[in-house]
Structure 1
Amino acid sequence: MDRQLALVSLTVEIMAVVDLVPQGTAYGLLIGLGVLFCGVILVAIKIQRAYLSEDSGTSEMFMVANRSVGTGLTASAVFSSWMWINETVLSAAMCYRYGLAVPLWWGSGLCFQIALMAALGVMAKIRVPYAHTSLEIIRMRYGWIGHVIYMVLNLTNNVFGCASMILTGSQLIHGVSGMNFVAATILIPLGVVLYTAVGGLKATFLTDFLHTTVALILIIYFTLSVLAHPAVGGLAGLYDKVVDTASENYISGNFEGSLLTMKSEGAIIWGLILKFGNLALVVMDTAFWQKSFASEVNSTVPAYNLAAIAVFGIPWGLGTVIGLSARALHNTPIFPTYPGQVTATEVSQGMVMPYLVKALLGNSGMVAFFVLLFMALTSTVSSSMIAVSSILSFDMYKTYVNPKASDRRLLHVSHIAVVFHAIFITGISIALNYGGANMTWIGYFRPILSCPGIIPLGLTLFWSGQTRLAAILSPVLGFFTGLAIWLATAKSMYGEVNMATTGKNLPALYGAIGSFFSPALYSVVLSLYKPHTFDWREFLRIELIEETPTESSPTEETKEPNPKTDNIYVSAEIDTDTSPTDYPRRLSLDDVSHPFSAETLRNLYRWSNIAWVMFVALVLITFVLWPMPLYRDYIFTKPFFSGWTTVAIMWQFCAFFAVVVYPLYDGRFEIAKGIRGVVAEVNGLGRGK
């Protein structure tokens, strides 16, 4: 423990030496951006309620946005939720550490999970059309014990994922400005709490779009500005400088120690660990399931696949340019740490990118970096808040505390849960910091913790033969299997078990593999021990939450019809004395019918086939056909490097059109309707005066 505390103290001392942004500016930006986004979203919510008949004062709207979100906005929201600090700041840091192989492996480690979620999401729409969270599906099939176990898995996954982002962001803010770490940790989620608690999931969709727009503009700006700087000299200049400094930038484990080769042992191990961890962050995160439930019937697959393809270019382009430029310039007088070296701790905490931005783009560049950091942080935090609040309110409170809770009461609990999660996650982030953790160590531990539930959760939707016993025990056994492999490997290879040895890449990789694959074996064996076949019609007993009319929630008689969602409500007459939870369970399975028409179901199954084809194609291309032929004794030539990086930069522009321009086109009618409403009201006020 003394060693860990000493490491934290040393880290603070090292990072406090170079203040890249004045502390007052950092406070102003963090608070000002939070207030600005809160104000924007509150205005947007008012416009939604007044002119688009979208009321965030109901739990269906709060949790799943009335299942009416289109393709463009869904793609933008998924992209934003998945554009963590990792894809920007840490991808550059890992490229600095291992070379240009890392950004490509990073891109491939981001896209296939979203493509898989498209397949899972469309199957969830087919099997459980009224679901609000993935845990609701687990409870319906496996009972309360399974529900509690998967609730713990989901919550720990969300907590560690969100905490790791806040931890890294706070350490970065402290490193670039000297702002007190605890203050930064408190301020990051503060503004997010306000607009998330008020607006719910649709609010996060809208702010996700704003985050995506600003962040992508800044990512393109950083990539092009760094390349165009005279100290770098464009693609040709960057290549020449990396080659000229090769002797002082020798990377152990790379072919000939070069930064310009795909044959990098460290990069491929890092990439594999990242793939397992990211898979858990998507499949075991209720937020991604909720965005799927919130999207229109025909939007899930195209939206998720659009986001999957778009996100590939972010770490690939930005990470390559920033990481290699920092390597080429870190021993020159313009670099902030000169004549000292960038320490391993600073690399792990993502300081490579802010150092380079300060060196090349000055104070204005650092302000832009701070804005990018804020965008990446708050998009992650808002998504996590909705996910956790839904678990605490719907899966915990409504299920075990107050099953007859009204819609208004459930919404009130959701608001409290958002605030509670913000306070709790702040405390966890502070504790992790003083415990000596950083993004790298958490990235290694998270797959071991979260991966065991992935396969059993997927089998819940795709295999009727998975039994309750198998679903309950397999993730528990999988976790202990992965944990044992992780610790035993660290002990065997390095002689002791501590933060340093468990933070090595091979023990983490072996532990992640055991944690991910072993539950599949456990599930099959336990299911065959006492076979049982689940009737898929059971899932149709899950109903939409009953909406109790309130002052802010229009009644059925006065509510404006919504053709996108009205057709999914059950047409059967429901006894008003029976709660939505009790009513469906009284029906015989022979009397339960699917709410979607035969034509809609055929369409959904077609989308399911498309989703699986896209998933397999992305895995084959990004795992095998693209990187593997380059994993050989080869150092990039200048023309090949120029073409490689040019395509990566072009991908960023394609991403901008896919998740910024297209959502505006896709929602043009709603935007026009909102604008007309605002203009009419302003003109009316003007005439009144």
Structure 2
Amino acid sequence: MTSLQLNVAGEELVPQATAYGLLVGLGAAFCGVILVALKIQKAYLSEDSGTSEMFMVANRTVGTGLTSSAVFSSWMWINETVFAAAMCYRYGISIPMLWAAGLCFQIALMAALGVLAKIRVPYAHTSLEIIRMRYGNIGHGVFIVLNLTNNVFGCASMILTGSQLIYGISGMHFAAATVLIPIGVVCYTAVGGLKATFLTDYLHTAIALILIMYFTLSVLTNDAVGGLGGLYDKVMANAAVNIVPGNYEGSVLTFKSKNAIIWALILKFGNLALVVMDTAFWQKSFATEINATVPGYNLAALAIFGVPWGLGSVIGMAARALHTTPIWPTYPNPLTLAQINAGFVMPYTVKALIGDQGIVAFFVLLFMALTSTVSSSMIAVSSILSFDVYKTYINPKASDKTLVRVSHLTVIIHGCFITGVALALNYGGANMTWIGYFRPILACPGIIPLALTLLWSGQTRLAAIVSPVLGFFTGLAIWLSTSKSLYGEINLTTTGMGVPALYGAIGSFFSPALYSVLISQYKPYKFDWRIFLRIELADEAQLARSSSIQPNHPPSDATSTSSDAEKPGSDPTKDVPTNDDSRVTPIAHDPVRGKSVQEKNPGIFFTNSDTSASSIPLDEIQHPFSEAELKKLHWWHRVAWAWFVFIVLVTFVAWPMPLYRNYIFSKSFFSGWVTVAIIWQFFAFFAVVLYPLYDGRFEIEKGVRGVYRAIQAYTGKSKK
């Protein structure tokens, strides 16, 4: 027996040596795979992570399949696997489905916002870049704090939870686990940037889904469970010891559960903040091709549904069926609430039914879920610190090479920082439940003001700056005052109760919308969306000033002829760059963007002395996309909003509400319910594992051909 920092007793299900070996070995293996993949990309696919565009937004060339896999992996946190089962055990059969419903609509919303960002801010790198362009440095600073807080708090809480789980099942000290979890991720993310996280996200996704299906089917078909019918019979036979307060007739097989609904609503608010306020999800949308954002994100939204629903239902109900039998690891002692909240339900069930090999597989699944979260957070925070802080305020003239070097450094700094935060939370006595209740209050205030930045031209600078701050204090005041009113005092226990946290999350989320509308009535104005196009102009002006960037070829004829036509009799040599900073520097043709702004707007020139693009009249700026591309993007925008509304109506209204009644699942209904959930897992595997291979088949073939030829050439030289 080992004692966790939170006084939670855990059974040592796997030796410490095995735990250390798995953490170190898996981290090293992923580093090796990614380094090899990056070499192949650079050598045979012309993808170099040594440029900021590639490091931050993967050259904006990621297709539908890899997008769906990456978004799925970034959103497949430890919550959807381990804690869906734990909360199903605690509250009943409704939790896994409600949990799944609380995961998909945020991704559908991000698809709509992402494609709108492509239309209005086609070459942004981070969501904060959009904020600064519209609201200036003060607004930029406010949202930097909100985004960093959301990323750091979310990522550190996952590391905290993972380290406690590893400690509980292996005896490894949680401080050692806290350090080892992110160290491998730091290595490959620092080297490879966003494209590296896309590749590792795919590997995470493939391995994790295979293990999820393995656990689901192995547990269900085990002789001690006896299939769907046997599982139902055993849960019903244990009904007398499986009473859940607040459920209809105390049953774990009813959808009518007050506590489950409260938990699910808090989860929805918290998850919405984790997506919209996480620059990683914005970056992935910026990194996609024009036709990949909406289908890629919505494929992930559908696929993620099957993880908590199928796995949580089977593991949670199997634990309810077996926790009073001799095969249970803690028998004859029952599971305590602290053990449930620590996530021990799934590893105990796996140990009881699958044995030692199951625990090793569980350890691998845990690693996949943790590192996918950490890698996504690292590249997001790295982009904020390098692009939104360093380049904006410290070194505006930073070259592309310098920016990538700073990005590498900030990945390492962030890895060290979140490790420290996770350790502080652990020693401070935090647990996953309390963190899950507090996070929406902290992160939700910026959601609506950020969305309105792209959706409403009437939101003023003052409203965008003040409304999130007021929203946070509103939610905090509601949370604490409700805790005091209902329970008589304010402490970790009372603030960790469901009702105060729900009221606080509602206030924190909705109040900024009211504040924004009211404040915007003071000195109202209408924002011109064309101003966002200056982000691309600023990028190209930076390229013009950067001595490290050389044109790929001379400026197009259109540029020179237009320049000559506008200045009859002028000396064409005046447009040739010299050492004089006042001279014009040609802009390179970008193979990813196509024509540069200067080529598309022949009347616009950048000089080496330019510091901004704000002086260029808006009427002279053309959108970088063609009319056909814009028409396609607007069509995708309408599709994305229609799909978002459909998902919300189905998962919030049409599906759960008819089930919230005085009804206990019958055997046939339970069997059909779990069967559909398992089929959904196989659909997820097809959507985010098999389809990306098909979608990227030409790049894979090209890379394999290049490696094969390189091996042939090497072996030929060796023979000679």
Which TM class, normalised by the smaller chain length? over 0.9
1:58 paired to 2:54: no
Amino acid of the residue matched to residue 556 of structure 1? N
1:454-499 CA-to-partner distances (Å, cap 9, x unmatched) read 0000000010000001000000000000000000001111111111
**1:524 maps to 2:517:** yes
Q: For residues 551 and 658 of structure 1, do their structure 2 counterparts lie closer, same or farther at Cα, with a shift above 3 Å needed?
A: farther
Residue from 494, 498, 507 that aligns with 1:505: 498
Counterparts of 1:585 and 1:324, CA distance in 2: 61
Rounded to whole Å, the distance in 2 between the matches of 1:153 and 1:348 is 27
Q: Is the 8 A contact 2:328 2:349 kept in 1?
A: yes
Q: 1:281 aligns with which of 261, 274, 292?
A: 274
Larger radius of gyration: 2
Q: Does residue 687 in structure 1 map to residue 708 in structure 2?
A: no
TM-score w.r.t. the length of structure 2 is 0.92
Of 608, 618, 621, 1:578 maps to 608
CA contact (8 A) 2:545 2:607 kept: no
Question: 2 CA distance for matches of 1:607 and 1:502?
Answer: 42
Q: Distance in 2 between matches of 1:79 and 1:668?
A: 20
The answer to whether the 8 Å contact 2:544/2:608 transfers is no
Q: How does 1:306-455 map to 2 (within 5 A)?
A: 306-455=299-448
Q: Which residue does 1:206 correspond to in 2?
A: 199
Distance in 2, Cα, partners of 1:439 & 1:94: 12
Partner of 2:93: 100
Amino acid at match of 2:461: R
Residue 18 of structure 2 is aligned to residue 25 of structure 1: yes
SS in 2 for 1:586: coil
Q: Does residue 15 of structure 1 match 2:6?
A: no
For residues 613-641 of structure 1, the C-alpha deviation after alignment (integer angstroms, 9 at most, x for no partner) is 00000000011001100000000000000
**In structure 1, what is the equivalent of residue 213 of structure 2?**
220
Corresponding position of 2:594 = 566
Please tell me whether residue 664 in structure 1 is matched to residue 699 in structure 2.
no
Question: Structure 1 residue 391: deviation in Å?
Answer: 0.3
| Structure 2 residue aligned with 1:606 | 635
| Equivalent position to 1:295, from 266, 288, 301 | 288
- Aligned pair in 2 of structure 1 residues 123, 538: CA closer, same or farther (>3 Å)? same
* CA distance, structure 1, for counterparts of residue 6 and residue 68 of structure 2: 39
Cα distance per residue 1:257-294 (max 9 Å; x no partner): 01111101111110000000000000000000000000
Give the letter aligned to residue 44 of structure 1: A
Cα shift at 1:14: 3.9
Q: Name the SS for the 1:398 alignment partner.
A: helix
1:587 partner amino acid? I
Secondary structure of the corresponding residue to residue 542 of structure 1: helix
Question: In the alignment, what sits opposite 2:239?
Answer: 246
Aligned to 2:678: 649
Matching residue's letter, 2:648: V
**Residues 5-154 of structure 1 mapped to structure 2, 5 A cutoff:** 14-16=8-10, 18-154=11-147
Matched letter for residue 28 of structure 1: G
Query: Which residue number corresponds to residue 635 of structure 1?
Result: 664
Amino acid corresponding to residue 608 of structure 2 in structure 1: T
Q: How far apart are the structure 2 equivalents of 1:654 and 1:554? A: 47
Measure how far apart 1:138 and its partner are.
0.3
Q: 1:367, CA displacement in angstroms?
A: 0.5
Alignment correspondent of 2:463: 470
Residue 399 of structure 2 contacts residue 547 of structure 2 at CA under 8 Å; is this kept in 1?
Answer: no
Pairwise CA distance, 1:643? 0.3
Q: How far did residue 590 of structure 1 move?
A: 1.2
Residue type at the aligned position of 1:660 = V
1:10–1:380: structure 2 CA closer, same or farther, 3 Å change rule?
closer
Match of 2:170 in 1: 177
Distance in 1, Cα, partners of 2:444 & 2:469: 11
Closer, same or farther in 2 for the Cα pair 1:219/1:33, shift >3 Å?
A: same
CA contact (8 A) 1:58 1:547 kept: no
Question: Partners in 2 of 1:343 and 1:568 — Cα distance?
Answer: 63
Report the AA paired with residue 296 of structure 2: A
Q: Which residue is 2:570 aligned to?
A: none
- Structure 1 equivalent of residue 250 of structure 2: 257
Q: Find out whether 1:495 has 2:488 as its counterpart.
A: yes
- Do residues 514 (structure 1) and 486 (structure 2) align? no
Structure 1 vs Structure 2: percent identity of aligned residues?
71
Give unmatched runs, 5+ long, in structure 1: 1-7
CA 1:535–1:551 in 2, change beyond 3 Å: closer, same or farther?
Answer: closer
Task: Measure the CA separation in 2 of the matches of 1:185 and 1:237.
Answer: 40
Matched residue type, 1:644: W
Equivalent residue for 1:457, pick from 450, 462, 465? 450
Q: 1:45 to 1:621 in 2, by over 3 A?
A: same
**How far did residue 28 of structure 1 move?**
0.1
Indicate the SS of the match to 1:53.
coil
Cα gap change, 1:549 to 1:347, in 2 (>3 Å): farther
**Residue pair 1:301, 1:611 contacting (<8 A) in 2 also:** yes
Displacement of 1:586: 2.3
Letter in 1 for 2:657: M
Distance in 2, matches of 1:27 and 1:611, equals 44
> What does residue 156 of structure 2 align with?
163
Post-superposition shift, 1:563? Answer: 6.3
Amino acid at match of 2:146: L
1:312 and 1:105 map into 2 onto residues whose CA distance is 10
CA distance in 1, matches of 2:235, 2:326: 17
Q: Which residue of 2 aligns with 1:3?
A: none
In 1, Cα distance between equivalents of 2:45 and 2:546 = 18
**Rounded Cα–Cα distance in structure 2 between residues aligned with 1:403 and 1:361:** 57
Cα distance between partner residues in 2 of 1:456 and 1:568: 32
Whole-angstrom distance in 2 between the partners of 1:296 and 1:12: 46
- The answer (yes or no) to whether the contact 2:598–2:605 under 8 Å persists in 1 is no
> Residue 531 of structure 1: SS of its match in structure 2?
coil
After TM superposition, give the deviation of residue 446 of structure 1 in Å. 0.5
Aligned with 1:585: secondary structure? coil
Deviation string 1:47-95 (CA, Å, 9 cap, x unpaired) is: 0000000000000100000000000000100000000000000000000
Q: Give, as a single letter, the amino acid of the residue that structure 2 aligns with 1:615.
A: F
Q: Indicate if the aligned counterparts of 1:408 and 1:548 stay in contact, CA closer than 8 A.
A: no
Matching residue of 2:651: 622
SS at match of 1:628: helix
Distance 2:619 2:160 in 1: 52
2:583 corresponds to 1:587: no
1:534 aligned onto 2:564: no
Query: Does the 8 Å CA contact 1:142/1:471 hold for their aligned counterparts?
Result: yes
**CA drift at 1:589:** 1.0
**CA deviation digits over 1:157-211, x for unaligned, max 9?**
0011101110010000000100011000000000000000000000000000000
What is the distance in 1 between the residues matched to 2:593 and 2:344?
A: 47
Farther-moved stretch of structure 1 (441-450 vs 565-574): 565-574
Conservation of the 8 A alpha-carbon contact between 1:406 and 1:548: no
Question: Closer, same or farther in 2 for the Cα pair 1:533/1:423, shift >3 Å?
Answer: same
> SS in structure 1 opposite 2:506?
helix
Question: Hey, what's the Cα distance between the residues in 2 that align with 1:308 and 1:442?
Answer: 24
Q: Look up the SS of the partner of 2:613 in the other structure.
A: helix
